[in-house]
Amino acid sequence: MQPPMQPRMSVQPPDAPHHEPDFEALRERAFNLRWATVAPDVIPLTAADPDLPVAREVTEAIADYIARPHLSYGPACGLPPFREAVARHFAREKSAPGVDAARVIATNSAASAITLVARHLLTAGDEVVVQDPVDFLVAESARRAGAVIRRWEPTPGGSGGGPGAAGGSRRRFTAAGLRALLASPEGARVRLVSVCHPHNPLGSLWSAAEVAEIAEVVAAHGAALLSDEVWSDVLLDGAGFASFAGQVRPRLAPWVVYGLSKGYGLAGLRIGAVVAPDADAAAGFAQAQGFEHTIEGVSTLSQVAATAALGHAGAWRSEFLAHCTRQRDLAIDRLAALPGVRIDDAPEATFVLFCNIEGTGLSEDVLAERIERIARVKVVPGSPRWFGPGAAGHLRLSLATTHTVLEEALDRIVRAWPAIIAPGADTATMAP
């Protein structure tokens, strides 16, 4: 048997930049519509999972942990250092100084956390506000809890969008829009308001003032609040972030879901957290949802990796965010020039880009199929089943790959565009 450090040295020498992806590894490992699932000549800009290697501090922490080869039961609600690291991260970086470790419960991914919180807060027949469009998980979780969904639509904007916007006008979910919905007959019996903050797929980011205003609207209605903040580490243009976990006010119980899949590339480790409104609520959640009975819980090794990311990978994340900002600008620059494409929602956060393709006269499903077949790039159609009815007429592209790969993907799309939108394109393919 080989000494265990040899393969690590050869693949990841200490002087390597640790930035270049190992595409061979991605072809083996990156599932969920990505490299391991597409044809060899197709570039996936699909699931929101970076192609970039994780921070060296993460793999070092894992190696250090297994150097003492004990993988015993962890504590039900998470390792104390993990819970403390999440609390510190929210307190210092997310304008939520009141978050302490007792409010944090480690969960087996943010997706799992959303479902558990929805199950915890809802009973069959309850009404829930869900943004439209938005990532499908909250609606899916509400449906599993037997709840009735009330859709909150964004307000059309007129300012021409935020940084990097090109054409179109940014839509925005506003406190006024929420207030109007809750005041309508549709909203009267709403028990829970859910938000995705920052917003996937629109890439919009609420300011601290907007967060406070929305919290006030929810509190005034007497509803609970579920804020999906899995994207809150991916802020572009150096933006800051105000978590709903920092909204301490009468009659408001904010439940925040967090995860490390987007900001630190740890999707495979399934590590996330619930930040409960207070310590008692956290304990009650853990008891009711089976954490105390080992029914729920998270791999300790995933928690060790996440703790290292939060504590020591700040430099990695700074570089990553600067890279994501440049990728956004590159993608908008190339795509906004295409006939039939409009960028209404230039991302202020996230590394996904939601493109309006209504001008092509083609549905999102047809267009996505043609882009894959003709340009050999896979994107996510804005199908109602993934993002709600309001997503129709859009495509979502994940941009968290290298500059070279994104440029190649965009080149392919731009070159193939006339063929893609041509009337006869359903049978066309590119010359090899």
Within residues 304-323, the interface with a copy of itself by CB under 8 A covers 305
Instruction: Say whether residue 338 binds a copy of itself (CB under 8 A).
Output: no
Query: In terms of CB distance, is 70 or 238 closer to a copy of itself?
Result: 70
Start-to-end C-alpha separation, the chain? 44
From the list 65-73, 96-104, 145-153, 368-376, the region that binds a copy of itself by CB under 8 A is 65-73
Binding residues for a copy of itself, total number by CB under 8 A: 77
Q: How far apart are CA 13 and CA 9, in angstroms?
A: 5
Q: Give the residue, chosen from 39, 64, 183, 251, that forms a contact with a copy of itself under the rule CB under 8 A.
A: 64
* Cis amide leading into 133 (omega within 30): yes
One symbol per residue from 82 to 111: x for binding a copy of itself (CB under 8 A), - otherwise; what is it?
A: --------------------------xx-x
3-state secondary structure of 108: coil
Query: In terms of CB distance, is 76 or 392 closer to a copy of itself?
Result: 76
Backbone angles phi, psi at 164, to 5 degrees: 80, 0
Tokens found for residue 418: 């006339």
Cβ partners under 8 Å of residue 426, min gap 6: 366, 370
Residue with tokens 């040295």: 9
Q: How far apart are CA 105 and CA 238, in angstroms?
A: 29
The residues in 251-310 that bind a copy of itself, with binding defined as CB under 8 A, are: 261, 265-271, 290, 293-302, 305
Q: DSSP letters along 284-326, please? A: HHHHHTTGGGTSS---HHHHHHHHHHHHH-HHHHHHHHHHHHH
Query: In terms of CB distance, is 76 or 248 closer to a copy of itself?
Result: 76
Q: How far apart are CA 52 and CA 55, in angstroms?
A: 9
Residue with tokens 């080149």: 411
The residues in 136-175 that bind a copy of itself, with binding defined as CB under 8 A, are: 136-137, 140-141, 144
Instruction: Say whether residue 31 binds a copy of itself (CB under 8 A).
Output: yes
From the list 25-33, 206-214, 388-396, 408-416, the region that binds a copy of itself by CB under 8 A is 25-33
The residues in 113-132 that bind a copy of itself, with binding defined as CB under 8 A, are: 114-115
Q: How far is the CB of 3 from a copy of itself (least distance, A)?
A: 6
The answer to whether 265 and 52 have CB atoms below 8 angstroms apart is yes
Instruction: Say whether residue 356 binds a copy of itself (CB under 8 A).
Output: no
From the list 4-12, 87-95, 175-183, 236-244, the region that binds a copy of itself by CB under 8 A is 4-12
